[in-house]
A and B are shown apart, each in its own frame.
Chain A
Amino acid sequence: MKLITAVIKPFKLEDVRQALAEAGVQGMTVTEVKGFGRQKGHTELYRGAEYTVDFVPKTKIEAAVPDSLVEQVLEAITGAAGTGSIGDGKVFVFDLEHAVRIRTGETGDAAL
């Protein structure tokens, strides 16, 4: 099993959700996050006070998938979240040791 963590542009969330569902992903967790990469922040000016905002709002998606699905999932995310411009985000893949479905007690791929 793998845990896929993708940080994407917030307005791409619906496209990515749809692409993941089509790729066979059964569920995911979404968090609103802030961060920075190569995309610069911006400055805000309130009367005389100028503030630099370094952290850009992003959306983080986490999905646990069986090993067999990883390639399709990566394709789905990069395809749906990409705009070609700086700040599109990143995808990270982690090994996932164990998973349990709380209601039934199923484990492993069956719990996903």
Chain B
Amino acid sequence: MKTAISSPLRLGVGLLALLGPALAFAQSPDKGDTAWMLTCTALVLLMSVPALALFYGGLVRSKNMLSVLMQVFVSFSLITVLWCIYGYSFAFTTGNAFFGSTGRVFLDGLFDSSTGTFALGATFSKATPMYEIVFVAFQATFAAITCCLILGSLVERIKFSAVLLFLVIWFTFAYIPVAHMVWFWAGPDSYTADANADELLASAGLIWQWGALDFAGGTVVHINAGVAGLVGAIVLGKRVGLGRESMPPHNLTMTMIGASLLWFGWFGFNAGSALEANGFAALAFMNTFLATACAVLSWTFAEWLLKGKPSMLGAASGAVAGLVAITPAAGNVGIPGAFVIGLAAGVVCLWGCTGLKKLIGADDSLDVFGVHGIGGILGALLTGVFNAPSLGGPGLVTDWVTVAMGYPGIGAQLLIQAKAVGLVVVWTAVVSFIGFYLVKAVLGLRVAEEQEREGLDITSHGERAYTG
């Protein structure tokens, strides 16, 4: 029903038709790649439920445990459904530099029941298509976890209905366009010798056109969510009793389990973003492994040195900080980059959750901005630096016709990265402010004070996490 030309991502389909059956065999997706990407997709699902839910849940007071688990669980489901209705289509089909179009609404055209064939999408290698439906599922988990990340800034006081309405708005007007701007492009197979490269570039998302590198979502996921969380914390206001009453985490064991499962699932997130089971997936895997360990050590030792004791929460936070910072860099830097980005992330995000947090003064309850916002910005900028072949990085593709690699220079690439960061910060901040004020006007953002004191588990959900 849909024409293959409507989306360059599916140009594999067009080529198949043109080149005939001789090449058709060579162009069907590799079974190993498909198996790997389906596995990665399930790993990224694990990052939200239960990993992020447990990580966040352990950090709140016991009276709000279920509300956090519930917010994550239902938000994840909500965004998955919206992704399949319109999210994927507007993020990953050809449109303008900011949005795609309606070609894939309700995932139309992914499977042709009359011929029994599946639509193909592009990877980063020529003549190496993937089943588009796999890409849809993989990216669905990204959209959903990004929305769940924001919740950490809002917990213990936000209305459940307000969470859902805000996320519909934010997903539609922040996540989708940012994903399109950063990640949508024509795919390598459309760059043939006689293709018009400028025209193809113009069909990509705005930030892709600028040449910014974001392997797995430093801008799309972490800066996007981190800034939205901070805006939410500002608009929502502080939790009742903050600063006067003790609000220690109720179960750091849960938080440790959550952080560990995040680390595990993040292999799917980062290594899976190579879209193939190849060397770049392996590089992303190793970098994700190493940078995280570096950040655990740097946060732990910095805390030990500055605050007197090395804490479990510090080690767990360091792991997440390292994972965040290496995300845009994963397949874009070499091992030296992973060492530096990981070590820097632990210390810089510790500052993001302490010194900077005090400076800002907002009740970003679980430090979404301090870890994801700051870690994302750090990672996005350092990706531009450590992509340099002189610093052990792979460089980037400068010509997709010949797949020639090059590198524009540290200063030039850093500037492009900074522009991308700046645009995403402003975009998500504006959408978040409008979104939160809109929800405030329609539903109200906060539960009543007595309900907040009693805890959201009983008052919003009618159940308790721990009984007996």
Contacts and interface: CB of A to CB of B under 8 A. Distances in A.
Nearest to A54: B246
Contacts of A45: 307-309, 311
B246 A47 contact: no
Nearest to B311: A45
Interface string A36-53: 000000001111110111
Interface in B305-326: 307-309, 311, 313-314, 317
A47 B313 CA distance: 7
Contacts of A48: 353-355, 357-358
A57 to B, nearest CB: 14
B240 to A, nearest CB: 15
A46 B61 CA distance: 13
Nearest to B354: A48
A58 B247 CA distance: 21
B447 to A, nearest CB: 22
Interface in A19-49: 44-49
Most A CB contacts (10 A, CB to CB) among B246, B247, B249, B350 go to B246
Most B CB contacts (10 A, CB to CB) among A44, A45, A51 go to A45
Contacts of B237: none
Contacts of A46: 59, 248-249, 311, 313
Contacts, number: 30
B189 interface: no
Nearest to B299: A47
A94 B311 CA distance: 44
A53 B248 CA distance: 10
A82 to B, nearest CB: 30
Interface in A50-99: 51-53
Interface residues of B, number: 20
A46 to B, nearest CB: 6
What DSSP secondary structure best describes chain A's contact surface? strand
B367 A47 contact: yes
A47 B306 CA distance: 12
B358 A47 contact: no
Contacts of B248: 44, 46, 49, 51
B246 A53 contact: yes
A38 B355 CA distance: 34
Interface in B74-89: none
Contacts of A53: 246
B91 to A, nearest CB: 33
Nearest to B242: A49
Contacts of A49: 247-248
B459 to A, nearest CB: 24
A44 B314 CA distance: 13
Contacts of A47: 313-314, 317, 350, 353-354, 367, 370
Contacts of A52: 246
Nearest to A44: B248
Interface in B349-375: 350, 353-355, 357-358, 367, 370
A51 B249 CA distance: 11
Interface string B338-350: 0000000000001
B246 A51 contact: yes
B350 to A, nearest CB: 8
A51 B350 CA distance: 18
A52 B355 CA distance: 20
A100 B121 CA distance: 83
Contacts of B317: 47
Contacts of B354: 47-48
Interface in B239-292: 246-249
A47 B369 CA distance: 13
Contacts of B370: 47
Interface string B52-84: 000000010000000000000000000000000
Nearest to B249: A46
B443 to A, nearest CB: 29
Most B CB contacts (10 A, CB to CB) among A45, A47, A49, A52 go to A47
A81 to B, nearest CB: 28
B318 to A, nearest CB: 11
A47 B59 CA distance: 11
A41 to B, nearest CB: 11
Nearest to B358: A48
Contacts of B357: 48
B252 to A, nearest CB: 8
Interface of A: 44-49, 51-53
Given A47-B370, A51-B248, 9 more contacts: A44-B248, A45-B309, A46-B248, A47-B317, A47-B354, A48-B353, A48-B354, A48-B358, A49-B248
9 contacts: A44-B248, A45-B307, A46-B59, A46-B248, A47-B350, A47-B370, A48-B355, A48-B358, A51-B246
Task: State the 5 A-B residue pairs at the shortest beta-carbon distance, nearest first.
Answer: A48-B354, A51-B246, A47-B353, A48-B357, A48-B353
